[in-house]
Amino acid sequence: MGRKLFIQALVKYLSGVLLLSLLLFIPAGTLSYKNAWLLMGLLFFPMLIAGIVLMLKNPELLRKRLNSKEKQAKQKSVILLGSLMFICGFVVAGLDYRFQWLIQPKWIPIAASVIFLFGYLLYAKVLHENTYLSRTIEIQEDQKIIDTGLYGIVRHPMYSSTLLLFLSMPLILGSFFSFLIFLIYPVITVKRIRNEEQVLEEGLAGYAEYKKRVKYRLVPFVW
């Protein structure tokens, strides 16, 4: 276990906990925002477990997942838009709770929590299937095409899982207005995938053939 990697992972984890807490509880004006605590538990506890597993069994994959320095110029605007989406969405959720703009039925956060956990399971499956899963768009040394498991169904199952995760977050928080903001994410994802596939087709041998075998990018029978 590398000490530097451990410290890097710990700092990013604690920074994420702190940032999300500030974005939710300050606009909410209280620590009694139960849905916020629910989301933080669903998000950060499995993340902690996954981080420990990767640290012990696949530290190289953990290192790739921690690297967020995007090399593709086209992706910088995508990352900026995504960051703004998260900030605005969480702040609006906190304000929605504070001022009770629109009260949702209690079953919606429960159903959204189930969808969120299912998305997390898909994400874990993708990490298990693809050890080349970098956070940035790049061609890695000796990279091979993964075309089995989830990758035999859609070409980008990681983004499929994040769609479930991110679109369920505002519903767990009980905010319809926050959900409207998070609807930007599918648009961001489509733009990112188009650029990623261009890079992979140009630099990864056999990717063009893989695209012919697996027709759908994100959602089976849809796109």
Residue 168 lies in a domain: yes
CB 48 within 8 A of CB 9: no
Number of domains in the chain: 1
Q: Are 136 and 67 in contact (CB under 8 A)?
A: yes
Is there a domain that residue 219 lies in?
Answer: no
Q: Is residue 163 one of the residues assigned to a domain?
A: yes
- The CATH number that applies at residue 60 is 1.20.120.1630
pLDDT tens digit string along 19-36? 999 999 999 999 999 999
Q: What is the per-residue pLDDT for 73?
A: 64
pLDDT in tens, 37-49: 999 999 999 999 9
pLDDT in tens, 69-113: 666 666 777 888 889 999 999 999 999 999 999 988 999 999 999
pLDDT of residue 60: 79
Task: Find the radius of gyration of the CA atoms of the chain.
Answer: 18
Length of the chain: 223
Domain boundaries, position 92: 3-213
Residue 105 domain flag:
yes
pLDDT(168) > 90: yes
- 62 lies in some domain: yes
Tally of CB atoms within 10 A around 65: 18
Task: Say if 223 falls within a structural domain.
Answer: no
Distance from C-alpha of 110 to C-alpha of 118, rounded to nearest angstrom: 13
Q: What is the pLDDT of residues 100-148, one digit of tens each?
A: 999 889 999 999 999 999 999 998 888 888 776 665 555 556 677 888 8
Of 203, 68, 190, the closest CA to residue 134 belongs to 68
In a domain? residue 63: yes
Residue 220 domain-assigned? Answer: no
152 has a pLDDT exceeding 80: yes
Mean pLDDT of the residues in the chain: 88
